[in-house]
Amino acid sequence: MSGSDGVVSAFGSDPGVGSRVAEAGAVDAGAAGGLARPEPVPAATGVERLADAFAQAAAESRAALMPYLMGGYPTLAESQCIGEACAAAGADVIELGVPYSDPLADGPVIHAAGTQALAAGAGLAGVLEVARALAPRVPVVLMCYANMVFAPGVEAFAERLARTGASGLIVPDLPLEEAPAALAACDAHGLALVPLVAPTTPPRRMAEIGARARGFLYTVSVVGTTGERMALAERFAEIVARAKAATAVPVALGFGISTPEQARQAADAGADGVIVGTRLVRAAGEADDPAGAVGALVAELAGALRRG
């Protein structure tokens, strides 16, 4: 991965997003096939729902648990079941990935899951239907790459996303300098445009990013892509403190967190939210019952965050 901030930089790292349009707007064949009929879309804005989720977790003296799942993996219907299992097991927010052929922020496990989902015909339209089905139960933040947002136009994309009831949007390859139009469109539709910061983000740039953050500040715990790692906790407090000094929104720590112990360490370091992805995606791919396996792991993570 490249980027001026050393990993996925604030609002991404690649200033050439405007020209990457080849894959944007792709529509799945039978996108909604097999998906359960969603409940009515919540009336509160996405920004408000995220604020409420973090406030509820704080009121319970714990960090918010924020599992990541790949939309369309192993199938669209199964990914919806996984999301429902996450919500039932204690997820406060769900990060829902859209499969993409060149995911600069993703490590090998999530990359492989996205490749499989694409090969099975999943794409933006189908994943938005998963978001629509999950949104009444739990705030959903969509993670996708910039060409999906820019090709149809940021206003059209934000309107389409808001209609699903999703709460926010993460665009890892959207740099700070190219974020204003997307931020304005998300603001207009009540969506949180969530930026990322890295351990190597310079203080002045981090302050600029933090001032524009909506929903939460996605704080990357390591330099590199997503994936499971053995020992990270010694730097958690420093990384979280830097992020909190730069923003008024909650700080969520992610990348490399995979075990209940690491999740608890991130919370003890002051993180308002803990994001776990690769471990859950790997479980979804290995299990005969993906939703059951992921739900069990999320329950363990939730238990670790509740431990006083």
Task: Please give the positions annotated as active site.
Answer: 95, 106
State the Cα–Cα distance between residues 168 and 302, nearest whole angstrom.
22
Q: What is the DSSP letter of 170?
A: E
**Which residues are CB-neighbours of 156 under 8 A, at least 6 positions away?**
none
Of 259, 229, 254, residue with least CA distance to 239: 254
Which amino acid is located at 190 in the chain?
G
**Which residues are CB-neighbours of 292 under 8 A, at least 6 positions away?**
85
Q: 97 phi and psi, to 5 degrees?
A: -85, 145
Pairing of the two strands 217-220 and 251-254: parallel
State the Cα–Cα distance between residues 123 and 127, nearest whole angstrom.
6
Q: Residue with structure tokens 């959903």?
A: 140
**Which residues are CB-neighbours of 28 under 8 A, at least 6 positions away?**
76, 121, 122, 123, 124, 125, 126
